[in-house]
Amino acid sequence: MHVNVSASAATMARRPTMTLVAVGTAVLSYALMQTMVVPALHVLQQDMRTTATWSAWILSVFLLTSAATTPLLSRLADRYGRRRMLLVVLGIYLVGTVGAAAVNSIGLLIACRAVQGVSLAALPISFGVVGDALPAARQRAGHGLVSGAIGVGAGIGLVVGGGVTDHASWRWLFVLTAVLVVVAIGLVARYVPTDRPGGAGSVDLAGAALLALLLVAVLLILTEGPAWGWTDPGTFALFGAALVLLVVLVAVERRANAPLIDPAVVAGGALRAVHVAAFIFGLVSFVFYVSLPAFAQTAPGQPLPGGGTVGYGLGAGVTIAGLILLPGSVVLLPAGPLGSYLYRHFSARVVLLASFLVMAAGAVALAVWNATGWELTAGYLVVGAGSGVVLGSLPALISSLTEARRAATANGVNTVLRTVGGVVGSQLTVALLAAQHAAGSAVPARAGFTTAFLVAAGFAMVGGLACWAVTVRFDGGK
C-alpha cells in the first residue's frame, strides 16, 4: 500500500509538468506552421503552376481564419471546457494539415490552410489551461514557457522550412506537422485535466460573425491593399465595409446578454494597455521576421545597373538566414520564466517598460551593426531576450486582471490583436523596403533596412510607455 500511495503522489506531482508539456506541444505545432511554409512559397508556386498572388494566399488565408475564429473558439472554451475545446481545435487542425500534405491544386491547398488557421486558438486556450492546472506559484513561469514556444517555434519553423525545401518535397512540411499534432492530441488527452464548464449562458453567435467579418475586412485591407493600391475602389469598399461592420458590432454587443466582445475583457483600464502592448509586440516582431532574412539573403557583391555593387548583406541561403534568427527565438523560452523572477521584485509596468526598451536597444544595434552574421545574430538575440519577457508577461497579466471564467476569452482577444499587429508590421516593412532601391535596381537599399530597424525601435519604446498604465504587482500590491 505504501508503494502505491507513493507512486500515486509522484504521479500527482508530475501531472502539472506534463500538462505544461502537453499545451506547450500544442502551441509549438501552431508556431511551426506559422512560419515553416514561408521558405517554400516559391517552390509551391512552381509546383502548383500558379501566380505569386495566389501563392501569397497560402499565408494570408491562414492569418485570416486565425484571427476570425480565435475569439469565438476562446469563448467556447470558457463556456464548454478548455480541455474539450483544445482537443476539438487540434482535431480540426490535424484534418487541415493532412489535407494540405495530399492536395494537388492551389485552391485546395488554400482551403486546407484556411482550416489550419483555427490552430491559433490553441494559444489562448492553453493559457487558460495553465491557469487551471498549475499551482499559483508556477503559473507565471508556465505562461512564460507556453509563450516562449511561440517564438521558438517560429524561429525553428524558418530553419526547418528552409532545410526541407532545399532537400525534400514541401509536402514533408505538413507531414512533420501532422505527426506533432498527433503527439499533442495524445498528450492533451492524457495529461490535461477535465475542467468544469463556465456555466450557463448563450453564445453570442451574431457578435462572433460580425467580429469575424470585421477582422477579415481589416486583414484583407492590410494584406491586399499594397497590391491593389490604396486608392483602388476595392480597397475603399473594404474600408467602408470595415467601418459599417464596426458600428453594427458595437450596437449588437451593447444589446447582447453575453457579448463576445465584453468591455471587461477588451477596454477595461489596465487591460487596454495590455492589448495595446500585444498589438505593438506583434508589429515589432514581424518587422524582424520580414527584414532580417531579406537582409541576410542579399548578396553584397551583386552588381548594380549604374555600376558598383549592392554593398550589404551576407548572400546567405534560406536555411542560413533562418539560423540567424534561431538564437533570438530560442532565448524566448528561458526569458519567459525570467519574467516570473522579475515580477517578485518589480511592478509589471517596470518589467514591461524595461523589456520593451531591451527590444528597442536590440533594434538600434541592428541598425548600426549589421556587417556580419555574428552582428545580426547578436542584435536579434537582444531583441529576443526582451521579447521573451514581454510575451510571457501578457497572459499572466490578463489572468491577474480578469475573472478565471473569462481568461481564455481575454487571451483570445489579446492573441488576435498580436496577430493583427504582425500583419501591420509585415506590410509596413515591405513598404519601407520598397520605398528605397539601390541605384535604380529592384534591390532594396541598405537605408530601407536601417529605417525598418529604427521604426521597430520606436514602436518598441511606444509599447513600453503604453505599459505604464499596468499598475499590477503580482504580490498583491498595486
The predicted pLDDT at position 361 comes to 97
Pick the last residue of a domain from 215, 233, 254: 254
| pLDDT of 355 above 90 | yes
Q: Mean pLDDT, to the nearest integer, of 245-261?
A: 82
The predicted pLDDT at position 454 comes to 97
Q: Mean pLDDT, to the nearest integer, of 355-374?
A: 95
Query: What is this structure's pTM?
Result: 0.84
| pLDDT of 155 above 80 | yes
Which tens digits make up the pLDDT trace of 297-315?
899 988 888 777 888 999 8
Q: Mean pLDDT, to the nearest integer, of 417-439?
A: 86
- 267 and 249, same domain (yes or no): no
Q: Mean pLDDT, to the nearest integer, of 220-234?
A: 82
- 239 and 311, same domain (yes or no): no
| pLDDT of 440 above 60 | yes
Least confident of 37-51, 73-87, 288-302, 353-367: 37-51
- 156 and 209, same domain (yes or no): no
- 27 and 138, same domain (yes or no): yes
CATH of the domain at 82: 1.20.1250.20
* Beta-ladder partners of 309: 303
Which tens digits make up the pLDDT trace of 173-214?
999 999 999 999 999 999 999 877 665 556 778 888 888 888
- 240 and 328, same domain (yes or no): no
The predicted pLDDT at position 168 comes to 85
The predicted pLDDT at position 126 comes to 92
The predicted pLDDT at position 394 comes to 83
- 298 and 340, same domain (yes or no): yes
What percentage of the chain has pLDDT greater than the value 90? 33
- 2 and 100, same domain (yes or no): yes
The predicted pLDDT at position 133 comes to 81
Q: How far apart are CA 382 and CA 386, in angstroms?
A: 7
- 288 and 183, same domain (yes or no): no
| pLDDT of 466 above 50 | yes
Locate 147 and state its grid cell.
509563450
Number of domains in the chain: 3
Q: How far apart are CA 465 and CA 349, in angstroms?
A: 9
Q: Mean pLDDT, to the nearest integer, of 236-252?
A: 91
Average pLDDT of the chain to the nearest whole number: 84
Q: pLDDT band for position 41 (50/70/90)? A: confident
Distances in whole angstroms, Cα of residue 448 to Cα of each of 211, 316, 360, 431? 35, 19, 18, 9
| pLDDT of 478 above 70 | no
Pick the last residue of a domain from 197, 220, 242: 197
- Determine the structural domain holding residue 210 and report its residue range: 204-254
Q: pLDDT band for position 9 (50/70/90)? A: very low
- 250 and 353, same domain (yes or no): no
Locate 191 and state its grid cell.
495529461
**Among residues 423, 235, 270, 427, which one has the least CA distance to residue 347?**
270
- 246 and 266, same domain (yes or no): no
Q: pLDDT band for position 264 (50/70/90)? A: low
Q: How far apart are CA 272 and CA 266, in angstroms?
A: 6
Locate 137 and state its grid cell.
506559484
Q: pLDDT band for position 471 (50/70/90)? A: low
| pLDDT of 93 above 50 | yes
- 411 and 316, same domain (yes or no): yes
Least confident of 121-130, 279-288, 408-417: 408-417
- 275 and 334, same domain (yes or no): yes
| pLDDT of 265 above 60 | no
Residues near 292 by beta carbon (within 8 Å), at least 6 away in sequence: 321, 324, 325, 366, 376, 380
Q: How far apart are CA 140 and CA 121, in angstroms?
A: 20
Better pLDDT: 3 or 357: 357
